[in-house]
Amino acid sequence: SQTIHQWPATLVQPVGSPLSLECTVEGTSNPNLYWYRQAAGRGLQLLFYSVGIGQISSEVPQNLSASRPQDRQFILSSKKLLLSDSGFYLCAWSSNGYTFGSGTRLTVV
């Protein structure tokens, strides 16, 4: 069966520090992968999506970047975090609809 793993579950980082969030998918090949952010009490904001290795599309210009070094691995990064980067980050892959990972709650202090 297909599963999606996302870590860490929670993260507290100081302003200006780097960020790396990882997402991996098992049980499928060449999945479409997505990174979403959800601010407190708000809806889902699509950040990046990828249809294959090395292929990244950005939906929102900001200080975040994404990479897909392997077929089932999707990484969200930042060189210098801002306070506004705080939120709940969700990775998803598409099958029939989307399946979401368990999310990472990021607090930038």
Q: Which residues inside 84-103 make contact with another protein, applying CB under 8 A?
A: 88, 90, 94, 96-103
DSSP 14-67: -TT--EEEEEEEES-SS--EEEEEE-TT--EEEEEEEEETTEEEESS-SSEEEE
Q: CB of residue 47 vs another protein: minimum separation in angstroms? A: 12
| Residues in CB range of 41: below 8 A, 6 or more apart | none
**Spatial contact of 25 and 2, defined as CB atoms under 8 Å apart:** yes
Query: Closer to another protein at the Cβ: 84 or 102?
Result: 102
Query: Closer to another protein at the Cβ: 30 or 63?
Result: 30
Count how many Cα atoms sit within 13 Å of the Cα of residue 24 in the half-sphere of its side chain.
6
Q: CB of residue 37 vs another protein: minimum separation in angstroms? A: 12
Q: What pairs with residue 15 in β-bridges?
A: none
Q: Which of 13, 46, 58, 77 binds another protein (CB under 8 A)?
A: 46
Q: Which residues inside 1-30 make contact with another protein, applying CB under 8 A?
A: none
**Binding stretches for another protein (CB under 8 A):** 32, 34, 42-44, 46, 49, 88, 90, 94, 96-103, 105
